[in-house]
Amino acid sequence: MAFIPDVQKIEFEGPKSKNPLAFKHYDAAEVVDGKSMAEHLRFSVAYWHTFRGDGSDPFGPGTISRPWDDGTESVENAKTRARVAFEVFEKLGVPFYCFHDRDVAPEGDNLRESNRKLDEVVAVLKEEQERSGVRLLWGTANLFSNPRFAHGAATSPNADVFAYAAAQVKKAIEVTHELGGENYVFWGGREGYQSVYNTDMRRELDHMGSFLRMAHEHCRNIGFSGQLLVEPKPREPMKHQYDYDVGNVIAFLRAHDLLGPVKLNVETNHATLAGHDMIHEIELAASQDALGSVDANVGDPMLGWDTDQFPTNIYLTTQIMMVLLRYGGISPGGLNFDAKVRRESYDVIDIFHAHIGAMDALARGLKIAAAIKTDGALEKIVRDRYSSYDSGIGKKIDERKTTFAELESYMIERGNPARSPSGRQELLENLINEYI
């Protein structure tokens, strides 16, 4: 029985199709740069936005009510939602999904009861995974909604809250493991502060490090070999969050000797809220061997909060795919649609429009990025630009075989450097446009 009988499986119809419920660019089996689109893109639906989002915002309650949802916090309702979710995954042809523990199952009155309810729903998820072949990209624990986390979770001034968070993450990791999740994500929405005046930053950072170390130990103990990922975000809900951006998270992971076992889940909207272009953040992470997965959404550059929109901008999707092609792909991570339909887009069909548009935009980005790579013109320009490091004094610098004294002698001799060629930014922007 279908919950959404009006929508059939979304098929690839090619760029000329005018059918809004067809893919114009995403063809899962099409081979691009040596791999199928499905392998490159590893799309994932975000359970929270797509099945729990109700369209509420700080100035109004929800606008969205789904026909299959009875509005209760019962386990039965949660199980139904899970069945619907898999119907959507399959109709979209998306191979992965992601969830928070509290998205899929209701919270109980205490930890034991919450765990029990979670287990009940996980059984359904497992059954659906097996039936459909859809897999879990990553699981995570919601450590920010419940009022107990108002002051933080791992950085709470209340040791009991730290302990509760630890127990909750322990369970979420175990459940992720049970479902064959390929990654586990940490997003510390309340790990920061509203006021420096009441905050002991040193102690909080220290607790946050201990928390992550213990989580990592627990994964080893239970044999969970999925990738661990920290997701940077600069602020919101807190005034300041410690996992501010890729650089700050890397600083933190290096301080606790966790870079390597732990990588990053980088989100477009979080990047821009921190003042960075998405391509900067993923390139920075990848250049440090720290890129684990991508939350494929987009914010509005004029807005100062997380709008979590579906990514439809071809420049953005091209840039993302250029980095992924350069660094060998995103696996075992994926492209997770941490995005929500607008508050005013309250029909079920809007979910489909949203995902189809984003999948097509990323597929176009992939094809464009592959064409740029194949063509090689851009890569050559960049390689040539740095060619002075391929020989002579440049090579010595590149290979770390020189000193300030030697460089001074060299330059005293020469007097002045050779002139650098133009940066050709305008030409390069035109070049990118040739492929778009």
Catalytic residues: 100, 103
Other Cβ atoms within 10 Å of 341 Cβ, number: 24
**Position 175 contacts a second copy (CB under 8 A):** no
Site for a second copy contains 374 (CB under 8 A): no
How far apart, in whole angstroms, are the C-alpha atoms of residue 232 and residue 242? Answer: 8
Give the CA-trace dihedral at 92, 97, 100, 101, to 10 degrees. 100
Question: Between residues 225 and 386, which has the closer beta carbon with respect to a second copy?
Answer: 386
Residue selected from 78, 136, 208, 215 as contacting a second copy according to rule CB under 8 A: 215
Smallest gap from Cβ 308 to a second copy, in A, equals 10
248 binds a second copy (CB under 8 A): yes
Taking Cα atoms as reference points, which of 281, 327, 296, 268 lies closest to residue 96? 296
Q: Does 434 bind a second copy (CB under 8 A)?
A: yes
CB of 388 to a second copy, least distance (A): 4
Minimum CB–partner distance for residue 44 and a second copy (Å): 18
Residue 106 within binding range of a second copy, rule CB under 8 A: no
Nearest one of 88, 140, 100, 135 to 359, comparing CA atoms: 88
CB of 153 to a second copy, least distance (A): 10
d(CA 206, CA 243): 13
CB of 319 to a second copy, least distance (A): 8
**Per rule CB under 8 A, is residue 338 in the interface with a second copy?**
no
In the window 268-327, what residues touch a second copy (CB under 8 A)? 272-277, 279-280, 283-284, 287-288, 300-307, 310, 312-315, 319
> Which of 166, 208, 264, 366: binder of a second copy (CB under 8 A)?
166
Q: Are 93 and 104 in contact (CB under 8 A)?
A: no
Which range, of 70-78, 83-91, 132-140, 230-238, touches a second copy by CB under 8 A? Answer: 230-238
Q: Which residue has the tokens 């990592």?
A: 216
Q: Which is nearer to a second copy, 131 or 239 (CB)?
A: 239
Are 301 and 269 in contact by the 8 Å Cβ rule? The answer is no
* From candidates 77, 80, 129, 210, binder to a second copy by CB under 8 A: 210
Touching a second copy, residues 397-416 (CB under 8 A): 397-398, 400, 402-405, 407-408, 410-412, 414-416
* 8 A C-beta contact, residue 99 and residue 42: no
Choose the binding region for a second copy from 28-36, 131-139, 178-186, 240-248 (rule: CB under 8 A): 240-248
Contacts of 361 by beta carbon, 8 Å cutoff, 6+ apart: 25, 311, 312, 313, 314, 316, 317
Whether 296 and 333 have beta carbons less than 8 Å apart is answered as no
Distance of closest approach, residue 179 Cβ to a second copy, in angstroms: 19
Q: Given the complex with a second copy, which of 34 and 425 has the nearer CB atom?
A: 425
**What are the CA-CA distances from residue 203 to residues 38, 159, 282, 284, 286 (Å)?**
44, 12, 30, 28, 30
C-alpha to C-alpha distance for 30 and 27, rounded to whole angstroms: 5
| List 14, 130, 131, 203, residue binding a second copy (CB under 8 A) | 203
Within 10 angstroms of residue 135's Cβ, the number of other Cβ atoms is 17
Which CB atom, from 9 or from 202, has the smaller least distance to a second copy? 202
d(CA 182, CA 200): 35
298 secondary structure, DSSP code: B
Which listed range, 69-77, 93-101, 194-202, 223-231, lies at the site for a second copy (CB under 8 A)? 194-202
Judged by CB, which is closer to a second copy: 29, or 382?
A: 382
Q: Which stretch binds a second copy (CB under 8 A): 36-44, 90-98, 121-129, 396-404?
A: 396-404
Residue 332, preceding peptide bond in cis (omega within 30° of 0): yes
Binding status of residue 261 toward a second copy by CB under 8 A = no
Helix axes 377-385, 348-375, angle to 10 degrees: 60
Residues within window 126-165 making contact with a second copy, judged by CB under 8 A = 144-151, 156-164
Q: Compute the half-sphere exposure of residue 196: CA atoms within 13 Å on the CB side of its CA.
A: 3
Cβ distance to a second copy smaller for residue 1 or 417 = 417
Residues β-bridged to residue 240 = 193
Question: Minimal distance in Å, beta carbon 402 to a second copy?
Answer: 7
Q: Cβ of residue 81: shortest distance to a second copy, in angstroms?
A: 19
Task: State the nearest-atom distance from the C-beta of 21 to a second copy, in Å.
Answer: 10
Sole binder of a second copy in the list 341, 363, 366, 368 (CB under 8 A)? 341
What is the per-residue DSSP string for 52-69?
Answer: I----BTTB------TT-
- Interface with a second copy includes 69 (CB under 8 A)? no
Cα(191)–Cα(252) distance, integer angstroms = 13
Q: How many residues bind a second copy (CB under 8 A)?
A: 159
